[in-house]
Amino acid sequence: MSLLKKWQDLAYVERNEADYNAFWGDYLPKEQKNYEYLLSHADETCTGTVQALADKFQMELVTFVGFLDGINTSLAEEIDLDAVTGDTEVVLAIDYEKLYYNMLAAKADWLYNLAGWDALLTQEKRAEIKKTYNSTRTVVKDKKIGRNDPCPCGSGRKYKQCCMSKAQ
């Protein structure tokens, strides 16, 4: 069984509320600590085997693969997580703008509000990324054609006397 599958079986199993809160209450501070480290060391790229990086970040191997699952879409080159083993060499070359965007999409306010972002992205850049994110969440409906409006086919007639009558 792959490490990713083990993580998914561990993380996404049905639990009662107390067990759910205990599991994620244990994982999320570890994840936050990892991101704090990565943001404060943005000038260096973390590389090594998955096991070595798990040890560096003081996480169990399967739990670290869960972290990789979360950050994977923010990497310059995504990792094939299905094939990852403890001996797999990985490069955590992070696209920090994409990471910030993905944190917004995940509604991870405890991550996108970390102090480490101040050194990486200006307030203006973060506001721009947030605006881009918000625009993807906004539904824009096309203007409905009124029966007395000019027909969009360009005939010059009213819609009700042209294409509306053909549609019925």
Contacts of 49 (CB under 8 A, 6+ apart): 86, 87, 88, 89, 90
Q: Please indicate, yes or no, if residue 158 is contained in any of the structural domains.
A: no
Instruction: Return the pLDDT at 82.
Output: 94
157 within domain boundaries: no
Q: Is residue 152 part of a domain?
A: no
Is 167 a domain residue? no
Please check whether residue 144 lies inside any domain of the structure. Answer: no
Q: Give tens-digit pLDDT for 110-131.
A: 999 999 999 999 999 999 999 9
By CB atoms closer than 10 A (0-12, 13-18, 19+), residue 145 is middle
Mean pLDDT of 93-100: 96
Measured CA angle at 110 (ends 107, 114), to 5 deg:
120
Report the share of the chain in percent with pLDDT over 70.
99
Predicted confidence at residue 160, as pLDDT, reads: 87
Residue 111 or residue 142, greater confidence: 111
Determine the pLDDT at residue 132.
93
- Phi, psi values for residue 73, rounded to 5°: -75, -10
Burial class (CB in 10 A: 0-12, 13-18, 19+), 150: middle
Rounded to the nearest integer, the mean pLDDT of the chain is 93
| SS3 (DSSP) at 64 | helix
pTM (global) more than 0.85: no
pLDDT value at residue 30: 96
Contact predicate 120/41, CB 8 Å: no
Q: Check residue 167 and give its pLDDT.
A: 66
Structural domains counted in the chain: 1
Asked if residue 41 is part of any domain, the answer here is yes
Does residue 147 form part of some domain?
no
Q: Can you give the residue range of the structural domain that contains 112?
A: 3-137
Q: Is residue 65 part of a domain?
A: yes
Q: Out of 19-33, 101-115, 129-143, which region has the weakest mean confidence (pLDDT)?
A: 129-143
Phi, psi of 49 (to 5 degrees): -75, 160
Q: What does the pLDDT read at residue 147?
A: 87
The pair phi, psi for residue 79, each rounded to 5°, is: -95, 140
